[in-house]
Amino acid sequence: MRVAMIGTGYVGLVSGACFADFGHVVTCVDKDQVKIDRLHQNIMPIYEPGLDDLVASNVKDGRLFFATDGSEAIRHADAVFIAVGTPSRRGDGHADLSYVYAAAEEIADLIEGFTVIVTKSTVPVGTGDEIERIIRARRPDADFAVVSNPEFLREGAAIDDFKRPDRVVVGTDSERARLVMSELYRPLNLNETPVVFTGRRTSELIKYAANAFLAMKITFINEMADLCEAVGADVQQVAKGIGLDNRIGSKFLHAGPGYGGSCFPKDTLALVRTATDFGSPVRLIETTVAVNDARKKAMAERVSQALDHDLQGKTIAVLGLTFKPNTDDMRDAPSLDVVPALLAKGATVKAFDPEGMKEAAQLLPDIIYCDGPYQAVEQADAVVILTEWDQFRALDLDRIKALLQQPVMVDLRNIYKPAALEAKGFRYVSIGRPASA
């Protein structure tokens, strides 16, 4: 089948490359000429493990193309995917749908024959109705169907998530559109992937409901971590004890500094705004948003406590800046709250992140960026682990201790065992665990 993918951001580029790898002919369209030129040189605009190789192989085999002008691709497409950004609208938290609607107008003027127009971007309930209205108003003669097909890709594991998903959700009442979407995803039949067909509005809400539930699960275990600290319990054992209940499950029960990234913060906020607009408030999600925001801001105080509440003139080494490992994504990362708070308390911050420093430098210009973890730690008064990159899981602790001015580690991801660090003479602070656990 022929596919046009509007947008070459995280969702559009990964989805386009994977559809091409399924055997479809895909053209990814973006108005950013520099981005398209770089993609022609196989330079990815994002860091995602394996994406450059996947793109290169499908370009070589003639199934994946990049363009700034999508006219030809859209005219000949069986399906046109809208995969543009939907950031939080400044001031009110609603999803900014201006890019989605602009794409719909462009598509309306170009489609020929029956075309399935697929919303891959995360959009509030009712967006598909508005896209249909826009296209119908511009092209009363057009033969098309608007479909919702939300993405459930984890940054750092997106290719595997696309090719081996838990499920595919498709929202449409059109039988012709259903057949087209079934054919697009037919390669997943080998793995017996569940394809859930729903109404369009239901599909749109499924995406928000899924992300809100996971965000709530993270926030829950973070609050349990605080309670564990108060009563002398171990949050990791609590998480294991409840996670073995298959009604709960073990995923997203890892205590830390709060969730961030491109999805959870904006999607929970958008869901709250949508629910309020429809007069059906979602109190649990409202609380989740508030608790998570407060948690990220409070993490710097943990560092301050480890240094006897005096950061003036101190140097803090921060390991990890991105919101999670295996990505360069800095959107709503806890570091964007923690690092400025450390600076405000009078500290100097030295930092290292394996992939995120280029992005971080634009957002955190007042810190010292280092070439590796040991350079960051050298002559620092404490080391803080903010992102659980694999290379931070087996640091040479003797070397770290020798490089530090004083042996203080604040591990906000619980990647080390308190007893092991204390045995080496560290003052070790983690999340929701008693000393010598």
Q: Looking at 28, 228, 263, 370, which residue is catalytic?
A: 263
> Helix/strand/coil (H, E, C) string of the chain?
CEEEEECCCHHHHHHHHHHHHCCCEEEEECCCHHHHHHHHCCCCCCCCCCHHHHHHHHHHCCCEEEECCCHHHHHHCCEEEECCCCCECCCCCCECCHHHHHHHHHHHCCCCCCEEEEECCCCCCCHHHHHHHHHHHHCCCCCEEEEECCCCCCCCCHHHHHHCCCCEEEECCCHHHHHHHHHHCHHHHHHCCCEEEECHHHHHHHHHHHHHHHHHHHHHHHHHHHHHHHHCCCHHHHHHHHHCCCCCCCCCCCCCCCCCCCCHHHHHHHHHHHHHHCCCCCHHHHHHHHHHHHHHHHHHHHHHHHCCCCCCCCEEEEECCCCCCCCCCCCCCCHHHHHHHHHHCCCEEEEECCCCHHHHHHHCCCCEECCCHHHHHCCCCEEEECCCCHHHCCCCHHHHHHHCCCCEEEECCCCCCHHHHHHCCCEEECCCCCCCC
Q: Is 18 a catalytic residue?
A: no
**Active site (catalytic) residues:** 263
